[in-house]
Amino acid sequence: DQQVKQNSPSLSVQEGRISILNCDYTNSMFDYFLWYKKYPAEGPTFLISISSIKDKNEDGRFTVFLNKSAKHLSLHIVPSQPGDSAVYFCAASWGGSEKLVFGKGTKLTVNP
Amino acid sequence: EAGVTQFPSHSVIEKGQTVTLRCDPISGHDNLYWYRRVMGKEIKFLLHFVKESKQDESGMPNNRFLAERTGGTYSTLKVQPAELEDSGVYFCASSQVSGPSDGYTFGSGTRLTVV
């Protein structure tokens, strides 16, 4: 009963192009969403978040879009850089809970 | 400032043995979390401390797992006796504020292999 789903295990893009990572969720109670980036042998690093009262949040090259009716969010990276190559995890929480529910991750490879 | 420190980084133990993982959070962070990632699966919540108190331990898989945070500083997670399915990467995270808004700071994890 996975509540946060990242259906693409991997994604490969060319340097300079846009990377779009997708995430779907099933629990309509989720009201806060986060993206983490993880390099091998390191812990996840917080990237960007969005509250359910918004539909978009930007931070530099990273933008997260939230479509509540579709229970879908996406992370856009523009332009993609080789250093962005990592595993990206989508996570969600609800009601101010400290507990995060993660997806399985998508491995992004940005080719020079 | 120093980040979240976990050790050991790797541990290989035999089924039935005991292992203790340690996490040193960022100084001043009252909130401490344990998560686990079994190979190829999602990262799953285990428990949350506020200072020395267990705020939420709903993710602890069974009574073979014991977490402590004496004095509200570092935390330990003991697995006794270890089973094969306990293998995975155990992450610790800490935060200063309550709630996920600051995204937490994760340690590099302890990779536990039970053979």
- Please say if the pLDDT value at position A7 is more than 80: yes
Q: How far apart are CA A43 and CA A99, in angstroms?
A: 17
Give the gap in angstroms from C-alpha B73 to the nearest C-alpha of chain A. 18
Distance from C-alpha of A26 to C-alpha of A16, rounded to nearest angstrom: 33
Looking up tokens 């500083």 gives B73
**B99 neighbourhood in chain A, CB within 8 Å:** 32, 93, 96, 98
pLDDT of residue B1: 65
pLDDT of residue B97: 81
Q: Are strands B75-79 and B65-68 parallel, antiparallel or unpaired?
A: antiparallel
Neighbours of B40 (CB within 10 A): 9
Query: Percent of chain B scored above 90 by pLDDT?
Result: 85
Q: What is the mean pLDDT of residues A44-60?
A: 96
Measured in angstroms, the CA of B70 and the nearest CA of chain A are apart by 20
Q: Which residues lie across from B82 on neighbouring strands?
A: none
